[in-house]
Amino acid sequence: MSQAAASFNPFDLRGRVAMVTGCNTGIGAGIAVALARAGADIVGVNRSEPVETAQQVCALGRRFVAVRADLASISAIPGVMEQALAEMGHVDVLVNNAGIIRRADALDFSEEDWDAVMDTNLKTLFFLSQSVARHMLARGAEQGGAWRGGKIINIASLLSFQGGIRVPSYTAAKSGVLGLTRLMANEWAAKGINVNAIAPGYIETNNTEALRQDVGRAREILQRIPAGRWGAPQDLGGAAVFLASSAADYVHGHTLAVDGGWLAR
């Protein structure tokens, strides 16, 4: 075996640029830092300044570009792409993490809450993926055989597989994310773009704070998790690095549950 072959690391992301939406806190922050630790530079797309995430990424010796945008509307996408490409030159990895949740009984759920969740969690996810994929394909055409391909990672949910309660628009959106992941993989796999998803379990984030404050519900959830604990944002990092790396070059259209064993129960 040659020295080059012996030293090859399929999880090495050096030289790659990863765009991570919603990375100021929680799952997005954990993924952004993990990708930076593997060598990637980061474009963070957020409504607010991701100060702590930027500090952690830069402390690892990687570049961090903060793009301020409200992904509730697809009108933000051209500006996001323009700034990312102006400052980084290219995007190799997209992590569609930005999302919101609204809770109410299905009998009382409002159209406003339905539209807000669907627009951010599904509509913008698709059209940002479309924009990044167009960039990836154009770059590939320019570079020919030297192009390494692109990776799109969607953040799905346990509710991509289950119905849940009191979150109808979130369940619909995350079920749609699973379907779109497969659709985009079917169309783009042969073009050199891997599209996959991660389905987090019950993770300690802002979105689950209401559940964790409900003592009875939190106890019920914990009792069902085989791992015996809620997940931490860092628990998603390894899955994201894998799917962003050349180690996953033959993985297409898969949704990987990182859930402490919840779906196996």
Residue 33 phi/psi, 5° resolution? -65, -40
Is 250 annotated in the active site?
Answer: no
Question: Residue holding tokens 């604990």?
Answer: 229
3 state DSSP class of 17? strand
Supply the mean pLDDT for the chain. 95
Give the homologous superfamily in CATH for domain 10-264.
Answer: NAD(P)-binding Rossmann-like Domain (3.40.50.720)
Per annotation, catalytic residue among 21, 67, 170, 243: 170
pLDDT for 7? 75
Three-class DSSP category at 58: helix
* Phi, psi dihedral angles at 95 (to 5 degrees): -115, 110
C-beta separation of 221 from 211 below 8 A: yes
Distance (Å, rounded) from C-alpha 82 to C-alpha 201? 34
What is the predicted pLDDT for the residue at 11?
Answer: 97
Q: What is the mean pLDDT of residues 174-200?
A: 98
Using alpha carbons, select from 39, 66, 45 the residue that is nearest to residue 54: 66
Residue 6's pLDDT band (boundaries 50, 70, 90)?
low
The predicted-structure confidence for 104-150, as pLDDT tens digits, reads as follows 999 999 999 999 999 999 999 999 999 999 999 999 877 765 566 79
Q: 94 falls in which pLDDT band (50, 70, 90)?
A: very high
Per-residue pLDDT of 58-80, as tens digits, reads 999 999 999 999 999 999 999 99
Confidence of residue 194 (pLDDT cuts 50, 70, 90): very high
Residues 130 and 183 sit within 8 Å (Cβ to Cβ): no
pLDDT at 220 over 80: yes
Q: Give the residue carrying structure tokens 């190799």.
A: 92
Q: Which class for 155: exposed (0-12), middle (13-18), buried (19 or more C-beta within 10 A)? A: buried
Give the integer Cα–Cα distance in Å for 82 and 90: 10
List the domain boundaries for the chain. 10-264
The whole-angstrom separation of Cα 1 and Cα 51 is 44
CB 172, CB 162: distance < 8 Å = no
Give percent of the chain above pLDDT 90: 89
